[in-house]
Amino acid sequence: MKNKVLGLGLGLAVVMSGSAVAAEGLDLAKASGCLACHAVEKKVVGPAWQDVAAKYKGDAAARDVLVSKVKAGGKGNWNEVTGGVPMPPYSPRVADADIEKLVDFILAL
């Protein structure tokens, strides 16, 4: 019984810290201007971030590639979704550490 209660408490703590990270990620995205073109669940100008996470799931190199892409901008990976609109460059407007946080947040969706 004691273990069960403990387990439940731990589970809740994990769920709560997970959503705190998500809220932080979204706040950072908002502050960085990303939400003008992105949403988690639907395409806006850029692809839905949920779809970005799905596309690169299990791809160990994706984090670096996406960090570079957010820093330098680029196009061509989502033509069928965006019609060929480019992703603008964000470095140095957004700090490198924040870009890494944003990519981690997106890939964890």
Contact residues for ligand HEC (CB under 6 A)? 32-34, 36-38, 45-47, 52, 66, 69-70, 74-79, 82, 85-88, 90, 94, 102, 106
**Residue 15: left (phi > 0), alpha (psi -120 to 50), or beta?**
alpha
Shortest distance in whole angstroms from residue 2 CB to ligand HEC: 44
Q: How far is the CB of 56 from ligand HEC (least distance, A)?
A: 7
The end-to-end CA distance of the chain, in Å, is: 34
Token representation of residue 75: 């196009």
> How many angstroms separate the CA atoms of 38 and 29, rounded?
9
Task: Give the shortest CB-86-to-ligand HEC separation in angstroms.
Answer: 6
Contact 65, 47 (CB under 8 A): no
Taking the least distance from each CB to ligand HEC, the nearer of 11 and 75 is: 75
The one-letter code for the residue type at 50 is Q
